[in-house]
Amino acid sequence: MTNTKTEYRPQTAEIIAMAGKGGTGKTTITALLIRYLVKSGHTPLLAVDADANANLNELLGLKLDKTLGEIRDSMKTDTPAGMTKSDFMEMGVNHAIIEADGFDLIVMGQPEGPGCYCMANSILSQVMERLARGYRYLLVDNEAGMEHLSRLNLRQIHTLFVVSDPSSRGVLTARRIADLTKSLGVRVGRKVLIVNRTPRQMPKELEDQIEKTIKDTDLLFGGYVPFSQELFECESRQESLLKLNEEVEAVRQAGKIFKNCMD
């Protein structure tokens, strides 16, 4: 009997990226989003750690081996005779993929040092573009600052989660990011504000500032993720956030936000 079911083969993966002031919880929210996407069957999923100081793997309990930066560097000197640089890079990238339970992770590593990396970067972009075609979702964790997003050469971001902490400066940075994306040369489908690590009682002034930010910009309001003692302790024990109980309030609230955005 012939199989009439068509396999899901997207041309390009749907790209989800993180932005926000330093230390607001981008990597934590990324880990919680991976957890949500895997559990709700939004796969195949490739998580990309684009922070030069890679640490997403730690929050997921995964051991880091090779970064894309290291592979790009070794391409310049270590490509064996008779092998194209493109094949060498492709092999290296496949090697660098960490296969986890229900998703894959790849780590960008350090940006290039002095010297010309035009060819290496262009080959890497091509390899990454081919790689991305095999996934339904690409989830990119960034360090603070929008220029890192442009370093990734992404053509289009479907959803940009802008993460703030419960502080006036965090929300102000979110507002700046919302305005900045226009000049980045990356098309952003929608920008969703998540206010993370919130206290039980939000100050009225901060709530007003958030409301005004939503009114003045094209940011959509995703929701609040409360400060979580369980999450804090989990991180302190260097345990994977994937192991957190489903009933933990921060996990539940984050799940609600993701469900609204992704389904």
Ligand X SMILES: Nc1ncnc2c1ncn2[C@@H]1O[C@H](COP(=O)(O)OP(=O)(O)OP(=O)(O)O)[C@@H](O)[C@H]1O
Give contact residues for Mg ion (rule: CB under 5 A).
26-27
**Region of 4-12, 40-48, 87-95, 228-236 interacting with ligand X (CB under 6 A):** 228-236
Q: Least Å distance between CB 239 and Mg ion?
A: 17
By CB under 6 A, tell whether 239 contacts ligand X: no
Which residues neighbour 249 within 8 Å (Cβ) at sequence distance 6 or greater? 226, 228
Q: Rule CB under 6 A: which of 139-158 touch ligand X?
A: 143-144
Given 14, 19, 25, 137, the residue binding ligand X (CB under 6 A): 25
Q: Least Å distance between CB 59 and Mg ion?
A: 9
Q: Residue written as tokens 């993720």? A: 225
Based on CB atoms, which residue is closest to ligand X, 92 or 170? 170
Based on CB atoms, which residue is closest to ligand X, 17 or 89? 17
By CB under 6 A, tell whether 250 contacts ligand X: yes
Based on CB atoms, which residue is closest to ligand X, 117 or 224? 224
Given 28, 57, 181, 213, the residue binding ligand X (CB under 6 A): 28
Q: Which does 255 bind (CB under 5 to 8 A by kind): Mg ion, ligand X, none?
A: none
Given 14, 15, 26, 178, the residue binding ligand X (CB under 6 A): 26
**Region of 26-34, 108-116, 127-135, 172-180 interacting with ligand X (CB under 6 A):** 26-34
Maximal C-alpha separation, the chain: 66
**Region of 5-13, 39-47, 107-115, 221-229 interacting with ligand X (CB under 6 A):** 221-229
Given 14, 51, 73, 90, the residue binding ligand X (CB under 6 A): 51
**Region of 104-112, 131-139, 212-220, 222-230 interacting with ligand X (CB under 6 A):** 222-230
Residue nearest to Mg ion (CB): 27
Based on CB atoms, which residue is closest to Mg ion, 26 or 191? 26
List, as one string, the DSSP characters of the chain: ----PPP---SSPEEEEEEESTTSSHHHHHHHHHHHHHHTT--SEEEEE--SS--HHHHTT------HHHHHHHHHHHPPTTS-HHHHHHHHHHHH-EE-SS-EEEE--SPP-SS--HHHHHHHHHHHHHHHTT-SEEEEE--SSTHHHHHTT-SEEEEEEEEE-SSHHHHHHHHHHHHHGGGGT-EEEEEEEEEEEE-SS--HHHHHHHHHHHHHSSEEEEEEEE--HHHHHHHHTT--GGGS-TT-HHHHHHHHHHHHHH-
By CB under 6 A, tell whether 160 contacts ligand X: no
Per CB under 6 A, residues contacting ligand X are 20, 22-28, 51, 143-144, 196-197, 225, 227-228, 231-232, 235, 250
